[in-house]
Amino acid sequence: MPNPGTGKALFANHCAGCHGGDLKGSEKGPPLLHKIYEPSHHADAAFQLAVANGVRAHHWKFGDMAPVKGVTPDDVAHVTAYVRAEQRKVGIQ
């Protein structure tokens, strides 16, 4: 089962540098605590694709996201569970 606690640690290691330790973004990447990343607009599959293939800049001006190496699909499922849990806390669902 995807575990938000496991996801939090993985996020800190692999994603926080751009998406922010608190999921609120940084000068290198957008916040994931944002309405455009709600599940109906960016489903869990979008997280798998983003990490595996990277993301061409389309919503923001930060540039492209490169594929993230060393993160398995199971890891991404944990990270997604963490992001969803944090989103729900701020009413993004």
Binding residues among 1-30 for ligand HEC as defined by CB under 6 A: 14-15, 17-19, 28-30
Regarding 62 and contact with ligand HEC (CB under 6 A), the answer is: yes
Buried b (16+ CB within 10 A) or exposed e, 16-53: bebbbeebebeeebbebbbeebeeeebeeeebeebbee
Of the candidate residues 59, 72, 73, 74, the single one contacting ligand HEC (CB under 6 A): 59
| Phi and psi angles of residue 55, each rounded to the nearest 5 degrees, phi first | -135, 130
Q: At its nearest, how many Å lie between ligand HEC and the CB of residue 91? A: 19
Residue 58 CB burial class (10 angstroms; 0-12, 13-18, ≥19) = exposed
In whole angstroms, how close is the CB of 17 to ligand HEC at the nearest point? Answer: 5
Q: Which is nearer to ligand HEC, 15 or 91 (CB)?
A: 15
Which stretches of the chain bind ligand HEC, using CB under 6 A? 14-15, 17-19, 28-30, 42, 46-47, 50-51, 55, 57-60, 62-63, 65-66, 68, 71, 79
